[in-house]
Structure 1
Amino acid sequence: MALEVVEICAGAGGQALGLEKAGFEHALAVELDENASATLLRNRPNWDVRTGDVVDSSLWKPDQFEGVSLLAGGVPCPPFTIAGKQLGATDERDLFAWAVELVGSVKPQALMLENVRGLSMPRFAGYRQHVLDRLRELKYVAEWRLLQASHYGVPQLRPRFVLVALKEEFADYFHWPEKLGEPPTVGDTLFELMAADGWRGAETWREKANKIAPTIVGGSKKHGGADLGPTRAKRAWAEIGVDALGVADAPPTVNDDPDFMPKLTTEMVARIQGWDDKEFHWEFTGRKTSRYRQIGNAFPPPVAAAVGKAIAAALKKETNPHERSNNLKGDPIYRVLRESGDFMTAAQIARAIERKIEPSDATGLKLEPHELERRIALLGRDFQIEMKESTSATAYKLGEFRAFIGQDDHVRHEHFLKNRAKIS
């Protein structure tokens, strides 16, 4: 059974290589950054790689790939990152909801989207529930899972929030990949590269670098050159003997002090992301800062391969079927407002939650009116919330989703054109 994938926001190929190892052949890869596209073509010159805005209908026609085995992508993470403003649906870079809507025209057998851990936080409970509801309307069964890259052989603290959805006929055959055991340390992973030019301190450094790495931060074009992360990450790097203030052009040499604290090269960063010279070999194009960003922003290939293999097995129905259950609860306020379709006061919402929502779904939700109002205001960051005042109370009604899902008049287009040179 031939499995084909259309990959959007493909980056430099972390997810692409992993899916290839899982048995998928690329029907198309779409990427905005020219350097990342050049990297894809350097490694897979026969692929159909298209460079530009993925939502541009002149770049590709989604309906031409109708029925493909898998639609996959690593859509931009800034709308959800914990370190950012968490603008979600109101961030012009948000393509997550658009990618979900794309399922309606591509009609893939399966969908896989990955993003940062921030999307799993309570702030985005309503956003996540909307995604699940929309996929259910499209006849897909979807599930979220927070995966740790270190569980799949990647020597790095890199949690990724993954959405997998399958057509109903395949859904019960999908099982999330099992953990593969303990990952190697940074020292063991990079020793060969650190010692390549005869550095006399390599063995001692290997012993000190006896942990897995902090999360590699790729950054964006809005910021300066290659850098391994914020202040706390730099301290963690220093504890394992790495100078995180920049990226080196070459490994330490025989002339360097054995006690010197080395910087990482882009090749070393790639190793920490899961690329290697054997199973996950890959070459990167462009200048050092561009290479670093391509590597740092990637979905680690071993993690993509693990999830890809699980999806492939489900599409081939090679596993034992089991009943699906989403382990991440949605927003009960969103659910009762959506079900009502009318104005509700905070007291009415609280009673509806108590009456209709399973207690486990509302865990940790305080039902006092002021807390409900705070949560409604939070929900209003991703959805239009209509308000109707009366002498006794304020009533709320859930309106339209604020996210870009393909609207011709959405503010996303204006912001994209204005900031095109800074987007990566």
Structure 2
Amino acid sequence: MHETKPITELTTVEICAGAGGQSLGLHLAGFRHTLAVEIDAIAAETLKRNLSRLATAGGHPAPDIAIGDVADESVWNPCDYPGVSLLAGGVPCPPFSIAGKQLGSSDERDLFAWAVEAAGRMKPDAVLLENVRGLSMPRFAGYRQAVLDRFAELGYRADWRLLEARDYGVPQLRPRFILVALRDEFAPYFAWPEPIPSTQTVGGALYDLMAENGWPGAEAWAMRANRVAPTVVGGSKKHGGPDLGPTRAKREWRLLGVDGLGIADAAPGPDVPADFIPKLTNEMVARIQGWWGPEYEWDFAERKGRKTSTYRQIGNAFPPPVARAVGVAIASALRKEVSATGNHGVASHDEVYRALREHGGFVSLAGLRRVLRGTLADREIERRVEFIRRDFDVEVRLRGGAPTYKLGEWRAFRGQEDHSRHEVFAIDRLRSKIS
């Protein structure tokens, strides 16, 4: 029988860890890292500096930091870390991003399904994976259902929740789609974190930093920046230097009195006109991401003279206060601190996918309608099938002039030796573009 770990031994392995926004939040929630895996060497150096410091302060050995493709077993092997309390990570976002092509399983950067299989090999008590809001869209309903069903086969109850960073003290919108899976033993004890009552504004968060060099316009600027920021966009190595997002986001920043076309080296000085429109520094962007106050101090590694690498680390991070809130909720469930009344993991995300999967053979539109008991119109069923076909092999045959459908393999990378993802990573010049 699976035993609950002692309260003092909440351990975590974190994959696609970036510069450690989730790492810090989980540490503050009571988890101790045993391993963090990250493909970017600069971000990995940031992890090493800070996680080593936190471990030393807590009287623990420094965690291992593995640098490279998380799915490469020469970098790390999930089987070497059995039974940790939590497998966590922020798997790549571009396959699901609204700003991208939403290729899902067809994008070589998609690691969600692989992470589920890694959990099956490690058998942690809980899994936490975060991604962009795009994964919550109808386009990916079948994909989500496949993830939930696979977790159920592995003995977990899983579900997603769209959380807004502004609801947890972070002065920006930054919606994130969070998956939490727990072993059946712990799932009834889990409840999603409630929003905190106060909302921080950009002006309130950044006034002291904007005023530190004596700029006479700082106070008026802070009064103008009286709401939360749009979502900070960290970008990827496929794109250029740091700025605060696409055209629409830059317009929103402008309304807050911020020039979004780049990052400044320092706050404006005493000779700068009061009506100047300033750019943010990396330190200011870190505040917008939730690195705020003594508990959230973080030392970012950087290439000499390069703001871009630091900005990218900050901009792509999972805000630490949000990670902390979710981490506290998971820790509470693993400790069974509340009554076992929760129904986590009972929701369904795509009835059409489930009907195709459970039927196993060819089924017509009329057959699907009968299985679904008329809850969906034919047009909606057809739309769902077309979405499913983007991520799964679906064989179509005509029967009596009408199409019938049979669900085949999930095209997502789950560790298959013959998957096309390996070809991409074998080309050195493309390796730096996987982000």
- Normalised by the length of structure 1, the TM-score is 0.95
User: Does the C-alpha gap of structure 1 residues 268 and 3 become closer, same or farther in structure 2, counting only changes over 3 Å?
Assistant: same
Identity %: 62
**Of 195, 208, 223, which residue of structure 2 is paired with 1:179?**
195
Tell me the residue number matched to 2:55.
none
Structure 2: distance between partners of 1:124 and 1:132: 12
Larger displacement relative to structure 2 (101-110 or 342-351): 342-351
Q: Which residues in structure 2 correspond to 1:308-323 (within 5 Å)?
A: 308-323=327-342
2:433 corresponding residue in structure 1: 422
Give the whole-Å Cα distance in 1 for the aligned partners of 2:78 and 2:248. Answer: 42
* Matched residue SS, 1:389: strand
Between the aligned partners of 1:38 and 1:332, the Cα distance in structure 2 is 44
Counterpart of 2:65 in structure 1: which amino acid? V
- Does 1:298 find its partner at 2:337? no
Q: Pairwise mapping of residues 354-393 of structure 1 onto structure 2 (< 5 A)?
A: 354=373, 359=375, 365-368=376-379, 371-393=380-402
User: Do the aligned partners of 1:27 and 1:48 also contact (CA within 8 Å) in 2?
Assistant: yes
| 1:399 partnered with 2:408 | yes
Equivalent pair of 1:125/1:329 in contact (CA under 8 Å): no
Hey, what's the Cα distance between the residues in 1 that align with 2:234 and 2:294? 24
The amino acid of 1:233's aligned partner reads A
Deviations 1:191-234 (A, max 9, x none): 01000101010000000000100000000011000010011100
Q: Distance in 1 between matches of 2:174 and 2:286?
A: 14
| SS at structure 1 position matched to 2:96 | coil
Task: Say whether the 8 Å CA contact 2:191–2:342 is kept in structure 1.
Answer: no
Question: Which residue of 1 is the match for residue 49 of structure 2?
Answer: 42
Q: Supply the distance in 2 between the matched residues of 1:416 and 1:63 (Cα, whole angstroms).
A: 22
| CA–CA separation in structure 1 for the residues paired with 2:50 and 2:268 | 28
- What letter corresponds to residue 405 of structure 1 in structure 2? R
Give the structure-2-normalised TM-score: 0.93
Q: Name the CA distance, whole Å, in 2 between partners of 1:323 and 1:423.
A: 38
Task: Say which is worse superposed, 329-338 or 119-128, in terms of deviation.
Answer: 329-338
User: 1:310 corresponds to which letter in structure 2?
Assistant: A
Alpha-carbon spacing, 1:167–1:328, altered in 2? closer, same or farther (3 Å) = closer
1:245 aligns with 2:254: no
**Residues 327/66 of structure 1: CA separation in 2 closer, same or farther (3 Å cut):** closer
Q: Count residues in correspondence.
A: 414
Measured in 2, the distance between the counterparts of 1:170 and 1:92 equals: 33
- Write the letter of the residue equivalent to 1:170: F
2:23 is equivalent to residue 16 of structure 1: yes
The answer on whether the counterparts of 1:144 and 1:328 sit within 8 Å (CA) in structure 2 is no
Deviation at 1:298, TM superposition (A): 0.5
Alpha-carbon separation, structure 2, partners of 1:290 and 1:403: 30
Give the match for residue 142 of structure 2: 126
Larger mean Cα displacement after TM superposition, 319-328 or 259-268: 319-328
SS in 1 for 2:87: strand
Partner of 2:245: 229
Cα deviation code 1:11-69 (max 9, x no counterpart): 00000000000000001000000010011112223331110011111111211110000
**1:366-399, Cα deviation, whole Å (9 max, x unpaired):** 224xx43333122100100011123421111000
Partners of 2:385 and 2:191 in 1: CA distance: 34
Q: What CA distance in whole angstroms lies between the structure 2 residues aligned with 1:136 and 1:190?
A: 45
CA distance in 2, matches of 1:43, 1:199: 32
Q: How does 1:19-418 map to 2 (within 5 A)?
A: 19-45=26-52, 46-286=62-302, 287-326=306-345, 329-354=348-373, 359=375, 365-368=376-379, 371-418=380-427
After superposition, the CA RMSD in angstroms is 1.3
Q: Residue 216 of structure 2 contacts residue 274 of structure 2 at CA under 8 Å; is this kept in 1?
A: yes
Farther-moved stretch of structure 1 (21-30 vs 343-352): 343-352
Measured in 2, the distance between the counterparts of 1:115 and 1:373 equals 27
CA distance in 1, matches of 2:87, 2:338: 21
CA deviation vs aligned residue, 1:250-306 (integer Å, no higher than 9, x gap)? 111111111100000010000000002411110111121011110010000000000
Secondary structure of residue in 2 paired with 1:386:
strand
Q: 1:70 to 1:384 in 2, by over 3 A?
A: same
1:327 CA drift (Å): 7.8
**1:181–1:222 Cα change, 3 Å:** same
CA distance in 2, matches of 1:240, 1:124: 34
Q: How far apart in 2 are the matches of 1:47 and 1:250?
A: 34
The alpha carbon displacement at 1:325 in A equals: 4.5
